Structure 1
Amino acid sequence: MSLISERQDFSTLADVFLLHGSMQSPAFLDGRLCAGLALRDLSAEAWLGEICISLGVEQPRDEASAERLLGWRRQTLDALSSSELNFEPLLPDEMFSLAERAQGLKEWTLGFLEVVEDAGEEPRKAWSSALREAVEDLAGLAAMETDIDDSSENENDLFALTEHARMAAMLLYTEQHPGRPQVEEVDENPGPVH
């Protein structure tokens, strides 16, 4: 089975980052990926280039790493363009503390907003008021306090905030790609990585 068909999760991608000598969280880049797919139709080659720059490497270390990183893009694009609305931001799961999960959401939001800001005002002119409000609300998430205790109340709050980020990403993608579920049927294959 190809790695690219396996579900990429936070821990798996964090391991790929570690393999490349990076301690950074994949959450920030996932936020950038989601906004990039919505606003720029981020190609596989461009995505791989962006990750390599972020990791401080010229290219992925090996074919398996390249497949995982490209699989991440494919999985995200499939979820954002699906009519099932099953997109989930790539965030730390229940194996992590609530504080680590909150930090992951904050980093995801910062990455997402960075790409939205870089796109400038032009794309915003066509946005619905619901999307404008959802993106403006994300600014509050980017400033949230992440040093929180593990409690059911905090867990419920974090779930609600994560759901808001998830809906904002899907709304951005849907509005930028009207009437285009399953935007791409086949993944661009950039060829072997040497």
Structure 2
Amino acid sequence: MSSSTALPDFDSLSNLFIQIGALGSPSELHGTLCGFLTAGRRWSTDDWLKQSAQLLDIDVPESAQAKTALAQLYDVTLRQLEEGVFEFTLIVPDDDYAVAQRSQALGSWCYGFLHGYGMGGGQVDENLDEDARESIQDLSRFTQLSDMALEEQESDEADLMELLEYVRVVAIMLFTACNQQEQPVNPNRTLH
């Protein structure tokens, strides 16, 4: 895939989606990608372009701009997840948007994450520790944020910021828990 280092932002993806006639939210698509990667699965560039087109209810994009943006979304998201909490960013509207719009986008991101996690074969079973299982339940509850009517009050703004940070940390925690590499056993190693 490509090697760009910047994650496309919500506005640039929204504009791209309008240009290519996509039906969907940048937040939900990013959440779906994160969930799929968290489940331990990976796509080739062609498979990701096909899958994202299906998720956005469009034909596979022909334009170089669309292909580059979607490949960049995949590459940078995977890199951020692998590098951990300080690098990882959710694709949601920035602070210029109303609290209600950002809440709805966060709910869409959580919905997408759970959808992608399921698509990737992710399980909520005894292989996950209790914290991870509870975090997935929290994400499920947060999908309802899109149905809440929040006002532009300082308390709502603060609550939303806490939720955004919580979801960001949960995504990294789940990615780490589900993508741990088993260390090969060294038969020559001696224990003392």
Q: Could you say which residue in structure 2 is the equivalent of 1:65?
A: 66
Instruction: Check the 8 A contact 2:88/2:172 in 1, yes or no.
Output: yes
d(CA) in 1 for partners of 2:26 and 2:84?
25
| RMSD (CA atoms) | 2.3
d(CA) in 1 for partners of 2:123 and 2:85?
29
Q: Alpha-carbon deviation of 1:23?
A: 4.8
Residue 126 of structure 1: SS of its match in structure 2?
A: coil
d(CA) in 2 for partners of 1:54 and 1:83?
26
TM-aligned CA distance change 1:160 to 1:84, over 3 Å = closer
Q: How many residues align?
A: 179
- Kindly provide the amino acid, as one letter, of the partner of residue 155 in structure 2: E
Instruction: Check the 8 A contact 1:3/1:67 in 2, yes or no.
Output: no
TM-score, scaled to structure 1:
0.82
d(CA) in 2 for partners of 1:122 and 1:96?
34
- Kindly provide the amino acid, as one letter, of the partner of residue 103 in structure 1: Q
Q: Which stretch has the larger CA shift, 117-126 or 78-87?
A: 117-126
Q: Alpha-carbon deviation of 1:87?
A: 0.8
Q: Alpha-carbon deviation of 1:94?
A: 1.2
Instruction: Check the 8 A contact 1:4/1:68 in 2, yes or no.
Output: no
TM-aligned CA distance change 1:33 to 1:97, over 3 Å = same
Q: Could you say which residue in structure 1 is the equivalent of 2:42?
A: 42
d(CA) in 1 for partners of 2:150 and 2:124?
36
TM-aligned CA distance change 1:112 to 1:75, over 3 Å = same
Q: Alpha-carbon deviation of 1:90?
A: 0.8
TM-aligned CA distance change 1:118 to 1:37, over 3 Å = closer
TM-aligned CA distance change 1:121 to 1:33, over 3 Å = closer
Instruction: Check the 8 A contact 1:98/1:148 in 2, yes or no.
Output: yes
Q: How does 1:73-112 map to 2 (within 5 A)?
A: 73-83=74-84, 85-112=86-113
Q: Which stretch has the larger CA shift, 102-111 or 116-125?
A: 116-125
TM-aligned CA distance change 1:28 to 1:132, over 3 Å = same
Residue 125 of structure 2: SS of its match in structure 1?
A: helix
TM-aligned CA distance change 1:71 to 1:160, over 3 Å = same
Q: How does 1:1-194 map to 2 (within 5 A)?
A: 4-43=4-43, 44-83=45-84, 85-118=86-119, 122=123, 124-144=125-145, 145-178=147-180
d(CA) in 2 for partners of 1:175 and 1:90?
22
Unpaired runs of 5+ residues, structure 1, are 181-194
Residue 89 of structure 2: SS of its match in structure 1?
A: coil
Q: Which of structures 1 and 2 has the bigger CA Rg?
A: 2
TM-score, scaled to structure 2:
0.83
Q: Which stretch has the larger CA shift, 33-42 or 104-113?
A: 33-42
Q: Alpha-carbon deviation of 1:57?
A: 2.8
d(CA) in 1 for partners of 2:127 and 2:142?
24
Question: CA deviation digits over 1:77-135, x for unaligned, max 9?
Answer: 11100046321211111121111000000000111112334456756332121111111
Instruction: Check the 8 A contact 1:32/1:114 in 2, yes or no.
Output: yes
Give the fraction of aligned pairs with identical amino acids, expressed as a percent.
26
d(CA) in 1 for partners of 2:120 and 2:37?
12
